[in-house]
Amino acid sequence: MEAIIKLENVNFYYDKGKPTEVHALKDVNLEIKAGEYISFFGPSGCGKSTLLYIIAGVERPDSGKVIVNGQDLMKFSSRELAIYRQIGIGIIFQNFNLIPSIKNFDNVTLPMAFLGISPKKREQRASEIMARLGVAELMDRYPFELSGGQQQRVSIARSLANNPPVILADEPIGNLDSVNANNVLDILKEFNQRDGKSIIMVTHEAWSLKDVNKIFYMRDGAITKIEEKGEKMAVKKVGAGYYHKNLFPELPVIEARAKVMASLILRGYSQEEIKRLEYFLSHYLRNQIDKETFRMVLDRPYKEGGVGLWKQRAKKIADYMENIIKEEKELEVLYKKLERDPETPLYEEVEKIQRWLLGDFTMKITPLQARRLNEIVMERIRNIILPEHFQKILNLPKDEGGVGLKIRTSLKITEKLETLLGREGGIEAITKTANA
C-alpha cells in the first residue's frame, strides 16, 4: 500500500545559529502506511514530539521533505496547512488542551466550526462521537469540571470531529492514571482497527506500546530502529523490558534494568526524579550501596540530593528492591510483574488521599480549590514542601495562590495527612477502601 505519510531527510534545529542551537532531528526518513498504528518511542528530549508536530504541519523542518498523501507540506501556504489540520489530522495532547472557557460540547464542535460545517450537522456529529466515547453526559459541563480521563476522552472526540484519516497523539496517557490510560489505549486501538484510522503515538512509556503495529525507536533526534510487530510478536506478548532493551541496546543489563524499573515505579513523577531514582537504583543493584542507604536517599528531599519520596514509600520501594535482588529473577519476569501490578501511579493516590482528607468535612470546595489541594498533596508526598508549608498554603486566600481554607480546617487537614504519611501501610489502607 502507498505510504500516507513520508518523511525524507528531515532535519530540524531549535535556535538555529544561536549558541543554544539544538539539532533536534537528524536526517529522519520514514514511511507510514494508511491504517497503521505506529509509535515514536524514546526517552524525553529525543525529538519524538518534534517529529509529530512536523507531521502535524505545526513545525517546519529546516531541510527535507514531508510528503502527506502525495503532497509536500513544505509547499503549503499557511492557509493550506490550516485546512490540512482541519480535515487531514486530529491531534491529542498530553495535557488535553481543551479550551477552558467553552463547554465540552463546544470544544468537540470547534474543529467543525473552523471547517465551516453548519451548526445542525455539527451537533449531530458531536453527539454521535461523544456518545461513542462515553462522554455524552458531560456535554454541558466545562473542561475543568472533568477528571483527567474524561478530559482526554473529550479531546479524543475533538480530534475525531472532522473524521480525519490520521490521528496524532502526543503522550496521550502521560497525565492519566493506569485505569484511564488503559481506557485511552483501548479507544485508540478501536479507532485503528474498526475505523481504520492511522494513528501516530508519541510515548516514552514502554507499556503503552502493547497495541502498536510498528515502533520507531528514537534517541537523540534519530530513528535508531524500526520494528514491525508481526503476528508472532503479538502472540508472544513481550513486556516493557523488551522495548527498553531495544531502545538502549548498548546499556549493561543492570543499567537497563534500573532505567525501566525507575520509570515504572515513579510513574507520574518528573523526569529529573526518575533519573535520580535510576541512578541510585543502579548503584543498589550493583551492591555499591546497602539497603539502608538506598532507603535514606529515597527519603531525602529532592533539594538535598535525594529522590524526595516520603518515608513510607521509600521503605516500601527499598523492601521491594531487596526482594528482587534476593530472588534474582530474570529481567523479563520482573518487567512483566511490574507491568501487571504497577505501583499505583501518583495521580490515583493523590485523588484518593484528597477524598480521604476531606471526608470528615462537610464543606464544598470548588474545582480550583480541589486542583490546588491536589497539587500540594502531591508536593507534600514528594517531600518538596514541609508540613508547615502545606498548612500555610491550605490557609492562604485563593487569590494569593492558596486553597483558601479556614485556619482550623487547614490545621486539621495537615495533621490528618501527616499521620497518614507517618503510618505504616496508611496509604494502602486508604487506596483499598477507595477501591472497594
In the complex, which residues of this chain contact other proteins (CB under 8 A)? 1, 4, 34-37, 49, 53, 56, 58-59, 68-69, 71, 78-80, 82-88, 90-91, 93, 97, 99, 101-102, 110-111, 113-117, 119, 158-159, 162, 164-166, 170, 192-196, 213, 231
Q: Which residue number, 107 or 354, has a Cβ lying nearer to other proteins?
A: 107
Q: Smallest distance from the beta carbon of 35 to other proteins, in angstroms?
A: 4
Q: Give the number of other CB atoms < 10 A from CB of residue 326.
A: 8
Name 10's bridge partners: 28
DSSP 117: -
Q: Which residue number, 102 or 253, has a Cβ lying nearer to other proteins?
A: 102
DSSP 119: H
Distances (CA, A) of 59 to 13, 99, 147: 11, 21, 30
Q: Smallest distance from the beta carbon of 109 to other proteins, in angstroms?
A: 9
Q: Which residue number, 388 or 399, has a Cβ lying nearer to other proteins?
A: 399
Q: Smallest distance from the beta carbon of 247 to other proteins, in angstroms?
A: 23
Q: Which residue number, 64 or 165, has a Cβ lying nearer to other proteins?
A: 165
Q: Smallest distance from the beta carbon of 12 to other proteins, in angstroms?
A: 12
Q: Which residue number, 96 or 269, has a Cβ lying nearer to other proteins?
A: 96
Q: Smallest distance from the beta carbon of 123 to other proteins, in angstroms?
A: 13
Q: Which amino acid is at 128?
A: E
Torsion over CA: 129, 135, 136, 139 (sign): negative
Contact 128, 175 (CB under 8 A): no
Contact 334, 241 (CB under 8 A): yes
The C-alpha cell at 356 is 480521604
Residue 350 CA to residue 15 CA, distance in Å, equals 38
Residue 158 CA to residue 156 CA, distance in Å, equals 5
Q: Which residue number, 29 or 193, has a Cβ lying nearer to other proteins?
A: 193
Q: Which residue number, 90 or 149, has a Cβ lying nearer to other proteins?
A: 90
Of 280, 270, 277, 208, whose CA–CA distance to 244 is shortest? 208
Q: Smallest distance from the beta carbon of 2 to other proteins, in angstroms?
A: 8
Contact 403, 394 (CB under 8 A): yes
Q: Smallest distance from the beta carbon of 54 to other proteins, in angstroms?
A: 11
